[in-house]
Amino acid sequence: QVHLVESGGGSVQAGGSLRLSCKASGYSYGSSCIGWFRQAPGKEREGVGIISYLGRTIYAASVKGRFTISQDNAQNTVSLQMNSLKPEDTAMYHCAASGPGCRSPSLSGIFYDYWGQGTQVTVSS
């Protein structure tokens, strides 16, 4: 059974940084994509950053240049370094992973089979 457990959320002031981590168990990264989505109250879920097993990445336009996704296949961990945080980055951040056969990372949630419970990020102005 696949489990994704997020950590690293918290409260910061605008301009600050946070690093989120997602630890996967019962899951193999082989030919898969994994990454981060977020959802703020009253808003739709948004893909933030995804990385494929080949290391290809895709980011939402709103975070490009500020957020960086990375993976450690040996540790079954994917991380999201978030810099220059803005109040509009406030949301629940969820880790998500696809099944095998993910050729290109996508920001659409329909391609992801496994989801974590989420970690809250709050950015104050």
* pLDDT single digits (tens) 95-110: 999 988 888 899 999 9
What is the model's pLDDT at position 29? 64
In eight-state DSSP terms, residue 43 is S
Question: Is a pLDDT exceeding 80 seen at residue 28?
Answer: no
Indicate the pLDDT class of residue 73, thresholds 50, 70 and 90: confident
What's residue 117's pLDDT?
Answer: 97
Give me the pLDDT at residue 101, please: 83
Q: Give the confidence band of 118 by pLDDT, cuts at 50, 70, 90.
A: very high
Mean pLDDT of 48-61: 95
Q: Are 76 and 23 in contact (CB under 8 A)?
A: yes
pLDDT of residue 115: 97
The H-assigned helical ranges of 61-108 are none
Q: CA–CA separation, 40 vs 95, rounded Å?
A: 15
The closest of 111, 63, 68 to 89, measured between CA atoms, is 63
Dmax over CA atoms of the chain, in Å, equals 41
**Does position 31 have pLDDT exceeding 90, yes or no?**
no
Work out whether the CA dihedral 79, 118, 67, 124 comes out positive or negative: negative
pLDDT at 26: 85
Q: Which residue has the higher pLDDT, 103 or 91?
A: 91
Terminal Cα-to-Cα distance of the chain (whole angstroms): 40
